[in-house]
Amino acid sequence: MQTFLDDDDPDGPAPDTVVRSVLRLLGSLGLLAGLAAPLGAQLGPPTMVNVAYGPYTDPTTPHSDERLDLYAHSDAVGLQPVLIEIHPGGFTSGSKSDFTSYLDDDDGIDAIDKAYAAGFAVVSIDYPLAATLFADGQPNPKFPKNKSPRAAHSVRRAIQFVRSKAGAWKLDPDRIFLIGNSAGANLGLWVAMTKDIAKPQSSNPVAQQSSRPNGVVFLSAPTFLDAAHIVMPPDKPAMMSFFGKKTQAALEKPSAIKKSLAASPAWRAGHAKSGTKFSDAMVELNASMPLLGIYKDLDPSATSSSYTFPVDDPHSAAMGLLLREALDAYAEESQNPSAHWTDFMLLNQEPTDPEGGNVTADAVVDWLKAHATTLRRN
């Protein structure tokens, strides 16, 4: 059996090394057997295409429609855990089922492919885009349209819709995970850092469902969107469009700061809605949300104090560190151990894992399998 701690190293290995070792041990003991056996390396055509998960449509920007694609296993034994993908694109572009940003290896196999091969059903969604320009480059006369938090509300709706279809689609409503890159990762984290909007007594079967995921994988996520943490280059106005602004100066006004903080998962982790004070209820709820973050050039032992703010890269590893620190200061001030993150992990994006030779995509799928198996047992 593998030894997790080296007696010659009093400090032991890095935390992420321990986690990977535990995942490999779980696999060797057969504790990941609750998932379907690998069914193929890459996704084929979707099982269902352009399914409406909400009523919103936009004839001028089709990829703003509330539509999803489903990739399910027709021969699955039992209910399938689900991975909902939220595409990147700076809140203003991108489309579902364009899986080009998820740690693909030299053979083009990425984390989405590998999760599907491990037995997960995959759902990919379109959501309302804050488009300043149309696809043909012409200005959008309705700008600002679909500004924050419109897209985030659609992601919550998608989660509820998928749960409402769980029986018909052979999905497990208690094992719904999100994965997103960049803007998509921000939206996934936003959903994870907000209260459940389920209305169990509603006559609407979608509204009855929980809107909170069972875990989130976030890649290069901007966790703060306010001007104190990010300054956007003039040639990259996506974030300004997301808040319906045309200049950086407009983002620095008090009213805009309030809105940008409300769209910042690291801020929402301890606050309710747009209030200025910490919320004990939100802290306790969010500290237990399973989170796996991946950033380039990440030093997991660093802190956000290693960076100078505002940063000019919304994908900076500083954003992951800020999220990790979001509740820790509160936990220390209140001397409440339960306010510390209980299931939070950051990984450096690298082509290979020097410990085991696995690409980062494999670490993502190992994490998903371990959590899906734990939920299945419980």
pLDDT tens-digit readout, 294-341: 999 999 899 999 999 999 999 999 999 999 999 998 898 888 888 999
Residue 70 has pLDDT above 90, yes or no: yes
| E strand or H helix that includes residue 111 | helix 111-117
Rg (CA), the chain: 20
Q: Tell me what pLDDT residue 27 has.
A: 40
Residue 204 has pLDDT above 50, yes or no: yes
Reading phi first (left if > 0) and then psi (alpha if -120 to 50, else beta), residue 215 is in left
- CA dist., res. 37 & res. 27, Å (int): 12
Contact call for residues 134 and 60 (beta carbons, < 8 A): yes
What value does the mean pLDDT of the chain take? 85
Give yes or no for a cis peptide into 337 (omega within 30° of 0). no
Contact call for residues 291 and 344 (beta carbons, < 8 A): yes
Q: Tell me what pLDDT residue 194 has.
A: 94
CA angle 92, 272, 236 (to 5 degrees): 20
Secondary structure of 313-357 as H, E, C letters? CCCCCHHHHHHHHCCHHHHHHHCCHHHCCCCEEEEECCCCCCCCC
Residue 61 has pLDDT above 80, yes or no: yes
Task: Print burial letters for 175-207: b (CB count within 10 Å at least 16), e (below 16).
Answer: bbbbbbbbbbbbbbbbbbbbeebbeeeeeeebb
Task: Print burial letters for 247-272: b (CB count within 10 Å at least 16), e (below 16).
Answer: ebeebeeeebbebbbbbbbbbbbbbb
Q: What percent of the chain has pLDDT over 70?
A: 85
Confidence of residue 231 (pLDDT cuts 50, 70, 90): confident
Q: Tell me what pLDDT residue 131 has.
A: 82
At 98-154, the pLDDT tens digits run: 998 899 877 788 999 999 999 999 999 999 999 877 777 788 888 888 999 999 999
Q: Tell me what pLDDT residue 125 has.
A: 98
At 236-280, the pLDDT tens digits run: 777 788 998 888 888 888 888 899 999 999 999 999 876 778 889
Residue with tokens 């037995």: 119
Backbone angles phi, psi at 301, to 5 degrees: -85, -5
Nearest alpha-carbon partner for 130 in 149, 141, 150, 145? 145
Residue 8 has pLDDT above 60, yes or no: no
Tally of CB atoms within 10 A around 9: 8
Contact call for residues 12 and 6 (beta carbons, < 8 A): yes
Q: Tell me what pLDDT residue 11 has.
A: 38
Q: Is the dihedral of CA 313, 317, 322, 327 positive or negative?
A: positive
Q: Is the dihedral of CA 217, 220, 225, 228 positive or negative?
A: positive
Confidence of residue 184 (pLDDT cuts 50, 70, 90): very high
- CA dist., res. 344 & res. 289, Å (int): 8
- CA dist., res. 252 & res. 366, Å (int): 41
